[in-house]
């Protein structure tokens, strides 16, 4: 009744190509943007911002990056965290080595460095596919943190290997409260999500999907496979690199090579699977789900153990997390391979007919 496009006529090509062709969608999007930019900073506490919202946004960006590579271009990668590490370390070094470097430019250059490294590790993708490629990306996952740890120059010869990230200063204004950091991250993520949304429906995005669906057929109709795959690797790594820089600068406040481990890569892969492979919205839904799930589980377990007077061992929560993560992945792959994004789509279709489905 409320969600129906009847009567909304498109009279120009621009209207026909709009990102959100239905008016209700546009209003909903505006509302979400308003809440994210105004409502949340006004009404949420520092704990919520630092412990939930900033990591959520950073992980959204990283899973957006992985989704471009895996969901749109069909190249499975297990090295996401390594590309994040490249972005973080590169941004740190650009800040450190070049005096007067604007921090935003450092983030961009960090992403650019990650993109170059991504292209390097994407080169084998021309010859290999599927899980062969997944194993190849494991090389990046193990090699890059090792290199960063071993070569002292990257960490400016810090003894512990943990580097304190520089403070974020934009136009002489230091952003040190969680609220300001949140807004910075939000701006970057919103901008890059908009870019990604447009990218995947452009010529290059369509080429990615053609390669994903059947690369031989794509080649036959004249898509240059190597270039398409390498661009996918570059764009994806750029997103991951910026996410890594934000992870280090805005979330942790330190650059720790060991933090960018295989576990993080898997977590981001899970976000993509749960959220929806090949969906921009899905990256956000998946990131929200995987960020919130451990907290929810923790609360439930604590409440449960109080209610039944159980004495849980300290490790139980993290074990339960592994268990639930694994079960969820299998559940989603079996029941809804397109993830939460597809569920949302189904809801929308139902909503269009409501209350008189025929």
Q: Which residue ranges make up the site for other proteins (CB under 8 A)?
A: 74, 76, 123-124, 127-128, 130-132, 134-136, 138-139, 141-143, 146, 150-153, 214-217, 220, 262, 266, 269, 273, 313, 315-316, 319-330, 333-334, 337
Q: Is the dihedral of CA 68, 69, 74, 76 positive or negative?
A: negative
The minimum distance between CB 328 and other proteins, in angstroms, equals 7
Tell me the three-class secondary structure of the chain, residue by residue: CCCCCCCCCCCCHHHHCCCCCCHHHHHHHHHHHHHHHHHHHHHCCHHHHHHHHHHHHHHHHHHHHHHHHHHHCCCCCCCHHHHHHHHHHHHHHHHHHCCCCCHHHHHHHHHHHHHHHHHHHHHHHHCCCHHHHHHHHHHHHHHHHHHHHHCHHHHCCCCCCCEECCCEEECCEEECCHHHHHHHHHHHHHHHHHHHHHHCCCHHHHHHHHHHHCHHHHHHCCCCHHHHHHHHHHHHHHHHHHHHHHHHHHHHCEECHHHCCHHHHHHHHHHHHHHCCCCHHHHHHHHHHHHHHHHHHHHHHHHHHHHCCCCCCCCHHHHHHHHHHHHHHHHHHHHCCCHHHHHHHHHHHHHHHCCCCC
Nearest distance from residue 239's CB to other proteins, in Å?
20
| CB 332, min distance to other proteins, A | 8
Closest to other proteins by CB, 21 or 337? 337
* CB of 277 vs other proteins, minimal distance in Å: 9
Is the Cβ of residue 174 or residue 312 nearer to other proteins in the bound state?
A: 312
Closer to other proteins by CB, 191 or 327: give it.
327
Instruction: Specify the residue, 136 or 184, whose C-beta has the smaller distance to other proteins.
Output: 136
Using the minimum distance from each CB to other proteins, give the nearer residue, 167 or 304.
304
Nearer to other proteins, 18 or 328 (CB): 328
Could you tell me the two tokens for 48?
């919520």
Cβ-based nearer residue to other proteins, 20 or 131:
131
Q: Shortest Cβ distance from residue 57 to other proteins (Å)? A: 25
User: Which one, 111 or 282, has the nearer CB to other proteins?
Assistant: 282
Using CA atoms, how far apart are residues 248 and 259, in angstroms rounded to an integer?
A: 10
Provide the minimum distance between the beta carbon of 126 and other proteins in the complex, in angstroms, as a whole number.
9
Distance CA(46)–CA(157), nearest Å, equals 33
Task: Give the C-alpha separation, 232 to 76, whole Å.
Answer: 11
For the bound state, the minimum distance from the C-beta of residue 29 to other proteins, rounded and expressed in Å, comes to 30
Closest approach, Cβ 15 to other proteins, in A, equals 37
């Amino acid at each position: 009744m409320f969600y129906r496009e009847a009567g909304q006529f498109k009279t120009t090509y621009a209207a026909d190509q709009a990102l959100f062709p239905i008016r209700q969608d546009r209003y909903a999007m505006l509302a979400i943007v308003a809440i994210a930019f105004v409502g949340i900073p006004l009404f949420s506490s520092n704990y919520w911002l630092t412990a939930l919202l900033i990591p959520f946004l950073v992980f959204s960006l990283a899973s957006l990056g992985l989704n471009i590579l895996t969901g749109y271009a069909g190249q499975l990668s297990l090295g996401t965290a390594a590309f994040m590490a490249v972005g973080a370390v590169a941004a740190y070094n650009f800040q450190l080595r070049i005096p007067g470097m604007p921090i935003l430019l450092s983030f961009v250059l960090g992403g650019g460095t990650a993109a170059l490294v991504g292209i390097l590790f994407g080169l084998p993708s021309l010859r290999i596919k599927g899980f062969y490629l997944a194993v190849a990306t494991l090389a990046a996952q193990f090699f890059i943190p090792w290199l960063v740890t071993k070569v002292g120059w990257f960490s400016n010869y810090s003894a512990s290997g943990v580097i304190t990230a520089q403070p974020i200063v934009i136009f002489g204004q230091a952003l040190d409260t969680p609220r300001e950091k949140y807004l910075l991250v939000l701006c970057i993520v919103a901008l890059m999500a908009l870019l990604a949304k447009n990218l995947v429906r452009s010529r290059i995005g369509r080429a990615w999907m053609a390669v994903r669906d059947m690369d031989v057929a794509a080649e036959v109709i004249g898509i240059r496979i190597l270039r398409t795959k390498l661009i996918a690797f570059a764009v994806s790594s750029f997103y991951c690199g910026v996410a890594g820089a934000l992870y280090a600068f805005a979330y942790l406040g330190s650059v720790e090579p060991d933090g960018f481990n295989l576990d993080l890569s898997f977590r981001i892969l899970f976000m993509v699977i749960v959220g929806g492979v090949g969906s921009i919205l899905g990256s956000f839904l998946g990131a929200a789900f995987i960020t919130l799930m451990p907290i929810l589980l923790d609360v439930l377990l604590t409440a449960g153990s109080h209610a039944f007077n159980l004495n849980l061992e300290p490790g139980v929560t993290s074990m339960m997390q592994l268990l639930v993560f694994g079960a969820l992945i299998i559940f989603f792959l079996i029941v809804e391979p397109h993830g939460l994004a597809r569920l949302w789509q189904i809801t929308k279709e139902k909503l269009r007919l409501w209350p008189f489905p025929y």
